Amino acid sequence: MQLKMQDILGFTAFYDTVKSQKLSMKTAYRLAQLAKAVDGELQFYREKLQTIVQEFGEMDENGQPVPTADGNGIKLRPGTEAECFVAMKELQEIEVTLPDIKFHIEDFGDVELSTAEIGTVLPFIEE
């Protein structure tokens, strides 16, 4: 199955929620297979993201990225914002190939999920 990197970024949060739930053996196995494949792609994403941070981020005296005031990101070196945006967009648009593993809503039984969590798994749900 072909997806964009941005489509799998939230999968880990979904997986963390359901991995300790009682699921059928078949569903749990397929979910574990998919999680392993996604993790490999996310490792690549984290490495490339670190490269982007090093290239565009403002660093402190210890060579560490300077966090934004709200703590939700890093400060960018002045004048690099547009280039950083392009690099991030390119990273998120990378096509990834994952095993063709799909689920039905019924596969997850009575597992309770937030709207945000279900949104992260929608690319893997078929009706």
Residue 13: per-residue pLDDT? 86
How large is the average pLDDT for residues 29-36?
A: 95
How far apart, in whole angstroms, are the C-alpha atoms of residue 17 and residue 117? 8
Per-residue pLDDT for 100 more than 90? yes
Percent of the chain with pLDDT over 70: 100
Residue 59: per-residue pLDDT? 94
How large is the average pLDDT for residues 15-19?
A: 88
**DSSP track, 28-76:** HHHHHHHHHHHHHHHHHHHHHHHHHHHHHB-B-TTSPBPBPTTSSSBPB
Helices vs strands, H then E, count in the chain = 4, 2
The model's confidence at residue 30, banded by pLDDT at 50, 70 and 90, is very high
How large is the average pLDDT for residues 35-42?
A: 95
